[in-house]
């Protein structure tokens, strides 16, 4: 056991039961240790943050953490920490770091043991006392590694609570929740009734709706969702197609704490039939129309006590907009075929990729309904606004695809093409393109070239797509982009017109080749 009792101890761990239990095991020896969470994709960035902290730790314990493809950056930051005389222990009991043992040994103490989990590696190295708590931590970690091991009801609770704590970070930038779970695993903080509700909520819906990316834009969005979630007012979610508006709506519902369900309605499919839209939203009674043999509740009644998500709300027929306004103001629903209304307790979240205010000014959407829906506003950024998240999004899906037997390599030429593309379909389009490339076993840039060709043929010669029009001619102050983004988009467009010929593009633009190269690769 290392003799470091009088130094300040920090724990760097990852999401997942083994990482959490390993950290809790270290807390058995050093209960005052500070905890920092990271992931295999973010380990290099987290180490860089630690390098810049003041004060620095005396001892840093890394447990449950891999390096993915970041080993060079990881080593660079570990060398800096070593120069600052920080003692570093890196625990691994599952073999996934063995190939880096000798390399890591130059900057830290690699505690790589042959055992069933990272938690067991910590347990053996620190010589922790064998008691009920440590046995529970070992059992949970082993169950996480080997999903075939039996789990008691109590075990399942802990696994779900750990996952719930981790998901709160990915959803709301809530780092404290996961750290508190680790401290509860270590017996330093007592469990509460709220923990039981948290675990149950995660079982029901918590494993879904994870927004992708840790850029400043995505962090701001997650923080805002956490703030707006508990406020019992309508929310208007704005954002382009494929950016993740429904995910944002689900997170708002989850953050609200409302006990009822989340019900989603695609208003676009109701745009041409007011009676169908009324029936879908407000329901009908038996005999309301031919074939209506039974009373059927509408979406509002189904969402009672919960949240109703109206996607593409701008497409609702005008008569239904009038009825929707009345329901929002009175919190009462009148089904088709009756004059009797009944109360509902529903929080409405509406989303659109269109300029709802412009539609209202032009008479295509009720202005009073716009203001009633726009009590709280959440804007989901386009992929162009957080391009720095492209590598982490790609890595997470590369890992998923590899596990399915479809490994995907992304070359520098692929990345050049990825960064030069506008991504009008946003994250959804990017993920689908990665999957297509993996399944077809062809380079990403070839799939992207095919995608670009289809879009150009669809738009017609010289016809810009909607995203390009909005970039150069925004229809509202909120859509106006910085001059730098417009310049980047234009240079990348000319580069594509020249078939990727930097020299030709530079000649047309009358700029240096280095300028074109910079903006083509600009993240």
Residue 513 counted as domain residue: no
Residue 523 counted as domain residue: no
Same domain, 226 and 126: no
Same domain, 27 and 56: yes
Residue 497 counted as domain residue: no
Omega before 55 within 30 of 0, i.e. cis: yes
pLDDT of residue 477: 61
- The span from the CA of 365 to the CA of 382, in Å, is 24
Same domain, 315 and 424: no
- The span from the CA of 310 to the CA of 299, in Å, is 10
In order of 24, 112, 130, 140, 269, the CA distances from 36 in angstroms are 12, 21, 26, 21, 46
pLDDT of residue 463: 46
Looking only at the bridges linking them, the beta strands covering 87-92 and 109-112 are parallel
The total number of structural domains in the chain stands at 3
Residue 512 counted as domain residue: no
Give the max Cα distance, the chain: 82
Q: What is the CATH number of the domain that holds 423?
A: 1.10.8
pLDDT of residue 352: 92
Same domain, 411 and 352: no
pLDDT of residue 462: 46
- The span from the CA of 339 to the CA of 327, in Å, is 14
pLDDT of residue 478: 55
Residue 501 counted as domain residue: no
Same domain, 227 and 193: no
Q: Which two tokens stand for residue 463?
A: 């016809």
Q: Which of 187, 206, 225 is the last residue of a domain?
A: 206
Same domain, 459 and 356: no
Phi-psi group of 378: left, alpha or beta (phi > 0 → left; psi -120 to 50 → alpha; rest → beta): beta
Same domain, 159 and 283: no
Residue among 94, 99, 93, 129 at smallest CA distance from 111: 93
Range of the domain at 302: 216-379
Residue 183 counted as domain residue: yes
CB 255 within 8 A of CB 229: yes
Q: What is the CATH number of the domain that holds 330?
A: 3.40.50.300
pLDDT of residue 264: 92
pLDDT, one tens digit for every residue, the chain (523 residues): 555 666 899 999 988 899 999 999 999 999 999 999 887 777 888 898 899 888 888 999 999 888 866 788 889 999 999 999 999 999 999 888 889 999 999 999 999 999 999 999 999 999 999 999 999 999 999 999 998 999 999 999 999 999 888 888 777 777 888 999 999 999 999 999 888 888 887 887 666 667 777 788 888 898 899 899 999 999 999 988 888 899 999 999 988 888 889 999 998 888 888 888 888 888 877 766 666 677 788 899 999 999 999 999 999 989 999 999 999 999 998 887 778 889 999 999 999 988 888 889 888 899 999 999 999 999 999 888 888 888 888 887 887 888 888 989 998 888 888 888 888 888 889 999 999 999 999 999 888 888 877 655 555 444 455 555 556 666 556 566 777 777 887 888 788 777 677 888 888 888 888 888 888 765 4
Q: Which of 322, 357, 379 is the last residue of a domain?
A: 379
Residue 495 counted as domain residue: no
Same domain, 369 and 394: no
Same domain, 113 and 228: no
Same domain, 41 and 88: yes
Same domain, 69 and 120: yes
Same domain, 333 and 442: no
pLDDT of residue 2: 54
pLDDT of residue 479: 61
Residue 492 counted as domain residue: no
């Amino acid at each position: 056991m290392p003799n470091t009792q009088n130094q300040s101890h920090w724990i760097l761990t990852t999401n997942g039961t083994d990482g959490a239990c390993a950290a809790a095991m270290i807390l058995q020896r050093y209960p005052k240790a500070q905890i920092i969470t990271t992931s295999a994709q973010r380990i290099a960035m987290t180490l860089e943050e630690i390098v810049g902290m003041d004060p620095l730790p005396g001892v840093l314990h890394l447990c449950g953490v891999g390096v993915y493809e970041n080993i060079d950056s990881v080593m660079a930051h570990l060398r800096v920490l070593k120069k600052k005389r920080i003692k570093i222990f890196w625990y691994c009991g599952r073999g996934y770091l063995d190939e880096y043992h000798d390399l890591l040994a130059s900057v830290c103490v690699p505690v790589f043991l042959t055992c069933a989990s990272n938690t067991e590696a910590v347990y053996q190295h620190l010589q922790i006392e064998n008691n009920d708590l440590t046995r529970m931590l070992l059992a949970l970690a082993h169950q996480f590694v080997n999903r075939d091991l039996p789990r008691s009801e109590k075990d399942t609770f802990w696994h779900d609570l750990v996952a719930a704590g981790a998901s709160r970070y990915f959803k709301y930038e809530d780092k404290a929740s996961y750290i508190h779970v680790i401290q509860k695993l270590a017996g330093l903080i007592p469990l509460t009734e709220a923990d039981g509700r948290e675990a149950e909520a995660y079982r029901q819906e918590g494993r879904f709706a994870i927004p992708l990316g840790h850029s400043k834009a995505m962090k701001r969005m997650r923080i805002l969702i956490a703030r707006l979630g508990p406020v019992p007012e309508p929310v208007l979610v704005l954002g382009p197609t494929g950016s993740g508006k429904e995910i944002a709506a689900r997170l708002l519902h989850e953050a609200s704490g409302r006990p009822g369900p989340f019900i989603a309605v695609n208003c676009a499919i109701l745009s041409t039939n007011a009676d169908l839209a009324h029936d879908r939203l407000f329901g009908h009674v038996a005999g309301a129309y031919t074939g209506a043999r039974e009373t059927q509740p509408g979406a509002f009644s189904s969402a009672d006590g919960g949240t109703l998500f109206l996607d593409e709300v701008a497409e609702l027929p005008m008569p239904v907009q009038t009825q929707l306004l009345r329901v929002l103001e009175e919190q009462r629903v009148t089904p088709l075929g009756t004059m009797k209304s009944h109360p509902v307790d529903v929080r409405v979240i509406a989303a659109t990729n269109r300029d709802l205010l412009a539609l209202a000014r032009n008479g295509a959407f009720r202005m009073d309904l716009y203001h009633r829906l726009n009590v709280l506003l959440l804007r989901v950024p386009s992929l162009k606004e957080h391009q720095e998240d492209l590598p982490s999004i790609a890595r997470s899906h590369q890992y998923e695809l590899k596990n399915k037997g479809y490994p995907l390599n992304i070359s520098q030429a692929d990345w050049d093409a990825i960064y030069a593309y506008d991504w009008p379909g946003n994250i959804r389009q990017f993920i689908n393109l990665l999957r297509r490339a993996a399944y077809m076993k062809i380079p990403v840039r070839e799939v992207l070239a095919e995608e670009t060709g289809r879009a150009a043929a669809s738009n017609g010669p010289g016809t810009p797509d909607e995203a390009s029009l909005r970039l150069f001619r925004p229809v509202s102050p909120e859509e106006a982009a910085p001059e730098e983004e417009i310049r980047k988009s234009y240079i990348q467009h000319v580069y594509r017109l020249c078939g990727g010929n930097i020299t030709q593009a530079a000649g047309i633009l009358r700029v240096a080749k280095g300028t074109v190269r910079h903006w083509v690769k600009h993240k």
